[in-house]
Amino acid sequence: MRYMPHTAEERQEMLVKIGVSSVDDLFADIPQEARLDGLLDLPLHESEMTVERNFRTLAAKNLSPYMTPCFLGAGAYQHHVPSVADHIIQRSEFLTSYTPYQPEISQGTLQALFEFQTQVAMITGMEVANASMYDGATSCAEAVLMACRVTRRKKAVVSGNLHPHYRDVTRTTLQFTEFETKNLPPVLEGNEDFDEHIGSDIACVVVQNPDFFGRVQDFTALADKCHEAGALLIVVVNEVVSLGAIIPPGDMGADIVAGEGQSIGVPLSFGGPYVGLLATRQKFVRQMPGRLCGQTVDQDGKRGFVLTLSTREQHIRREKATSNICTNAGLCSLTFTIHMSLLGETGFAKLAKLNHSQAVTLAEKLEAIDGIEIVNDTFFNEFTVRLSGDASSIVEKLAAKDILGGVPVSRLIPDNPDMSDLLLVAATETCSLSDMDQFVAALKEVL
Amino acid sequence: MLNNKGRPTQPAAVDSTDPQMETFTGNKGLELESPLIFEQGVPGRIGVDMAEPETVKSRLGGLDRKDPIGMPDLSEPQVLRHFVRLSRQNYAIDSGFYPLGSCTMKHNPRINEKVARLVGLGDLHPMQPTSTVQGALEIIDSLAHWLKTITGMPAVAMSPAAGAHGELCGVMAIRAAHEARGEARTRILVPESAHGTNPATAALCGYKVEAVPARKDGRMDLDAFAAKLGPDVAGVMLTNPNTCGLFETDVKKIADLVHEAGGYFYCDGANLNAILGRVRPGDLGVDAMHINLHKTFSTPHGGGGPGSGPVVLSDALAPFAPVPFVTRGKEGFDLVEQTEGAAQQSFGRMKGFHGQMGMFIRALAYMQSHGADGLRQIAEDAVLNANYVRVGLQDKLHSPFPGICMHEALFDDSTLKGTGVTTLDLAKAMIDEGYHPMTMYFPLVVHGAMLIEPTESESRQTLDLFIGAMSHLLEKAKAGEADDFLTAPHFAPRRRLDETGAARNPVLRWTAPENSDKEGTALSAAS
């Protein structure tokens, strides 16, 4: 077996040195009746060539969005990942290192984390960010828990236009705690009214920008209302490229920003692994979940970086920890940092502008089709379309023509007959004009 | 300054005796520094070429960003060089021995990376119609089959994103199962030696955590455990093999006792590597166990993530598993994404979309490469290597729990008593010898703990050299040469770092110098 170095002779010699007669003696603590004598009922080992062939065969059973017009979004977006980003994360020193517990020999990971935290704080308009969470949805749930700790209140009000997965994950995460969520119903027309829900017992209000239907909104007034009531405003961003074009949540008065960073540097990979973003104000740092990297100096006075404020974390605080999380998104935060560094101020703004112009172009083409209506007046790179029929079956018909023509809202919000004809459509820099024209032509055929 | 584990976090004020020849650049040969990325930009550069945006009528509703962000502009070769330089300041399994106990730092095969990036896998969108992702769903189904077979368990929840997330999944399933029976149990029993995530998880599920002491032989005290059981106990969270590297010999009795009391048995599967193909947790009475794909099945650790922590479940807990899950029907594979119908009793959803697919692909490639025969060999070689190190160091270091260990060898710091050298100092001296230190000060139940997990990936020659190096260091410490330890590491990119200072005055991001007039680097109002 190519991954294990011992020869049969070496194993024998090592057993002698240990002072046992067979390898079975090393497993003597396992209760006799539970020991497995034979092999598991699974195939035997395969060569690298065979394994590669197995996966190529499986890959061929899928329709690749890379090879076909793709307009899917709903919380995960197709973007170009620069070759440099994928190359660097495959460098042995990043790929095969552990959590930087020994900072003297982990400065690479640590400095990159410090840069990641800075970039996330900058683009969200917040003061500090952590070293990442599992994904946007879990980050949202952790943000709500954090708001409850900060305010010492127990209720969170959750916008109906928050991505349904984020709503479900937040509700699931809180269900056995002393905290509760009030999930408002989706409001397709936007301008949700939170007034009657905000009171002195509310820890936070959770909104999304652009919202699940793609609408861009100003939450400044909502932030003020929250603050007057002593509550926090949590703004979720699941298309992080939008921050290059629109006013960041921090400037609107957000107290915590929970986001999904997949759009920058992370491949779609069928939904994971992604990179959760969590940013907040400096004064709330000690209530923040997850890892944090901080700047310090070494014995010679040289600048260096360490994991810090770990007294919040489970390995020290145990059941009193701010969270049970003990990993971050590691390589996904690294590829985010590399891609963002390549873009820089100029490139990030340009990428955002390009995404918006692509979506506007597509919207104009779709609006010209009879029986199609764009629901939201504002959007960034994704919008909701009302079709003249059931969106799921139209999507299936488009898929049969090898076009990935959007996400039916009913897949995420089922059991709402008013929404069965709604389709979420996204356009990023990866769509060509020809992709859009194929989409339009196919839609006309299947409608 | 000592933290609560008795571990110094501030370097001692001892003068360095190193030859400290300074260079003009601060670089030293192949040791190349890179300033923060924010200190390197010149406005107007770009590292990604893209099409010029068409001029369109904006639909942003007038909410256009007004202030610059403050990020630096760089070209592609500058960014590449920056991160290559950073990478070289990291220790990694690929560069040397990394015996970090409890972390299973094994070889990460590159075929895993290659197949995860194939067109048709790495680029799949999670919301594609299921008819267009049959190969992807087959991978999830197939990995689920391997995991269930390896553990002898009937069901598996695939979506948890990491070990601790898997724990949360398992304990939520336990709570949901009790609630479905109309029972409101309040306590979870956790051994003293458990990972910190166990009590943190139980607390997040609303349980009161009660610690169970260990016996003199490092296993959980069965009598103390039995005495704590009662109708208000929801379950026990037990790591097996435990964090002392020992198999819990009473595991079946523990399972029987907790079941008799109406509770469930959560097994922390962090140390599954030691028992692959030798025993199935399902045969030990386990109700739920997370599997760290990034440990046992080699999806890389990546400097701290991403992880993946599927949870195998018993028949009793399976109905409460989170969505989504893959089903197999006449027309192929399908996804159950809502908590209704087949998932009516599901306790909910744990993350966006369908789980850590990129990790699933790598883990399945790793399993196929090993097969049933190779998986068993993993456990045998991992345990063989740990015992080889244990025996190799037994004259130099003290084992708190003598005798055969599983995949990791645990020592305490009693041999260092009176030398002026602590476990931390020894660890830093190991860095100078070219090793990543073992896990130190964990488990907490052992004084100055040193937990060494060599994994199956290491050759006998590597282990012999390591034993030699450790013996040399320990002899040096006993010979009174403490100074070299107190000032270690000498040959790392950084000397000891001031962790106390970092925590006292947290600097968590770069900020532009106050009087910076460089366009585009001034920070927005938020900072």
Report the candidate in B311, B313, B254 with the shortest Cα–Cα distance to residue B282.
Answer: B313
Nearest CA in chain B to A85: B80
Token pair recorded at residue B287: 């109700």
Q: Residues A3-42, buried b or exposed e (16+ Cβ, 10 A)? A: bbbbeeeebeebbeebebeebeebbebbeeebebeeebeb
Report the candidate in B141, B105, B131 with the shortest Cα–Cα distance to residue B364.
Answer: B141
How buried is residue B338: exposed, middle or buried, by Cβ count under 10 Å (0-12/13-18/19+)? buried
Query: CA-CA distance, A197 to B69, in Å (whole number)?
Result: 34
Residues in chain B within 8 Å Cβ distance of A311: 3, 503
Residue A277 and residue A297 in one domain: yes
Mean pLDDT of each 10-residue bin along chain B, 527 residues long:
65 60 88 96 96 96 96 98 98 97 96 98 98 98 98 98 95 98 96 88 94 94 97 96 95 98 96 97 97 96 95 98 95 94 95 97 98 98 98 97 96 97 98 98 93 98 98 97 96 96 96 64 32
Q: Are B527 and A127 in contact (CB under 8 A)?
A: yes
Q: What is the ipTM of this complex?
A: 0.97
Query: CA-CA distance, B24 to A77, in Å (whole number)?
Result: 46
Residue A223 and residue A349 in one domain: no
**Chain A neighbours among B 346-405 (CB < 8 Å)?**
347-359, 361, 365, 367-378, 380-381, 383-384, 387-388, 390-392, 404
Phi-psi region of B370 (alpha: psi -120 to 50; beta: other; left: phi over 0): alpha
Q: What kind of architecture, by CATH, is found in domain B113-367?
A: 3-Layer(aba) Sandwich (3.40)
A214: CATH: 3.40.640.10
Does A431 map to a domain? Answer: yes
* pLDDT of B15: 55
Q: Distance, in angstroms, between A196 CA and closest chain B CA?
A: 26
Q: Distance, in angstroms, between A118 CA and closest chain B CA?
A: 5
Residue A360 and residue A406 in one domain: yes
Query: CA-CA distance, B189 to B258, in Å (whole number)?
Result: 10
Question: Quick check: helix, strand or coil at residue A389?
Answer: coil
- E strand or H helix at A204: strand A202-208
Residue A398 and residue A333 in one domain: no
3-state SS track over B405-473: CCCCEEEECHHHCCCCCCHHHHHHHHHHCCCCCCEECCCCCCCCCEEECCCCCCCHHHHHHHHHHHHHH
Q: How far lies A430's CA from each of A70, A73, A348, in Å?
A: 9, 12, 15
Residue A186 and residue A287 in one domain: yes
* pLDDT of B515: 60
* pLDDT of B195: 86
Contact A43 B368 (CB under 8 A): yes
Does A23 map to a domain? Answer: no
Q: How many domains does chain A have?
A: 2
Beta-ladder partners of B82:
none
Residue A171 and residue A293 in one domain: yes
Report the candidate in B93, B198, B109 with the shortest Cα–Cα distance to residue A98.
Answer: B93
Nearest CA in chain A to B162: A327
Low-confidence ranges of chain A (pLDDT < 50): none
Phi-psi region of A408 (alpha: psi -120 to 50; beta: other; left: phi over 0): beta
Residue A269 and residue A359 in one domain: no
Does A55 map to a domain? Answer: no
Upstream peptide bond of B241 is cis (omega within 30 degrees of 0): yes
Residue A232 and residue A364 in one domain: no
Sorted by where each begins, the domain ranges of chain B are: 113-367, 377-495
Interstrand relation of B288-290 and B264-268 (parallel, antiparallel or unpaired) = parallel
Residues in chain B within 8 Å Cβ distance of A74: 127
**Chain A neighbours among B 17-56 (CB < 8 Å)?**
20, 34, 36-38, 41, 43-48, 50-56
Query: CA-CA distance, B147 to B163, in Å (whole number)?
Result: 15
Does A60 map to a domain? Answer: no
Q: Distance, in angstroms, between A287 CA and closest chain B CA?
A: 14
Contact A105 B492 (CB under 8 A): yes
**Chain A neighbours among B 277-306 (CB < 8 Å)?**
277-280, 283-284, 300-306
* pLDDT of A318: 72
Q: Are B472 and B430 in contact (CB under 8 A)?
A: no
Token pair recorded at residue B349: 């959803």
Does A383 map to a domain? Answer: yes
Instruction: For residue A177, give its domain range.
Output: 83-339
Contact A64 B47 (CB under 8 A): no
Query: CA-CA distance, A257 to A235, in Å (whole number)?
Result: 5
Q: Examine domains B113-367 and B377-495 and report if their fold is the same.
A: no
Residue A276 and residue A362 in one domain: no
Upstream peptide bond of A186 is cis (omega within 30 degrees of 0): no
Question: Quick check: helix, strand or coil at residue B212?
Answer: strand
Q: Which residue out of A327, A409, A431 would a mutagenesis test of the B interface target, given it has the greatest number of B Cβ atoms within 10 Å?
A: A327
Q: How far lies A42's CA from each of B83, B137, B148, in Å?
A: 41, 19, 11
Does A175 map to a domain? Answer: yes
Place of tokens 């002072």: A19
The length of chain A is 447
Does A21 map to a domain? Answer: no
Residues in chain A within 8 Å Cβ distance of B384: 6, 11, 14-15, 18, 23, 26
A·B CB contacts under 8 A: 740
* pLDDT of B51: 96
Please tell me the CATH code under which domain B377-495 is placed: 3.90.1150.10
Report the candidate in A415, A360, A399 with the shortest Cα–Cα distance to residue A382.
Answer: A360
Q: Distance, in angstroms, between A270 CA and closest chain B CA?
A: 4
* pLDDT of A319: 74
Nearest CA in chain B to A270: B126
- How many Cβ atoms sit within 10 Å of the Cβ of residue B391? 18
> Rounded to 5 degrees, what angle do the CA atoms A426, A432, A437 make?
85
Q: Which among A45, A337, A395 is the nearest to B371, CB-wise? A: A45
A418: CATH: 3.90.1150.10
Residues in chain B within 8 Å Cβ distance of A170: none
Sign of the torsion formed by the C-alpha atoms of A94, A97, A98 and A99: negative
Last residue within a domain, chosen from A283, A308, A339: A339
Nearest CA in chain B to A322: B200
Token pair recorded at residue B158: 């695939």
Contact B306 A123 (CB under 8 A): no
Last residue within a domain, chosen from A304, A339, A374: A339
Contact A34 B388 (CB under 8 A): no
Beta-ladder partners of B328:
B333
Sign of the torsion formed by the C-alpha atoms of A22, A24, A27 and A32: negative
Q: Are B268 and B237 in contact (CB under 8 A)?
A: yes
Last residue within a domain, chosen from A310, A339, A368: A339
Does A26 map to a domain? Answer: no
pTM of the model: 0.96
- How many Cβ atoms sit within 10 Å of the Cβ of residue B461? 10
Q: Are A279 and A269 in contact (CB under 8 A)?
A: no
* pLDDT of B193: 84
Residue A161 and residue A294 in one domain: yes
Residue A264 and residue A409 in one domain: no
Q: Are B119 and A59 in contact (CB under 8 A)?
A: yes
**Chain A neighbours among B 314-353 (CB < 8 Å)?**
322, 337-340, 347-353
Token pair recorded at residue A22: 């067979």
Residue A394 and residue A249 in one domain: no
Q: What is the CA radius of gyration of chain A?
A: 25
Contact B87 A65 (CB under 8 A): no
Q: Distance, in angstroms, between B228 CA and closest chain A CA?
A: 18
Query: CA-CA distance, A104 to A97, in Å (whole number)?
Result: 13
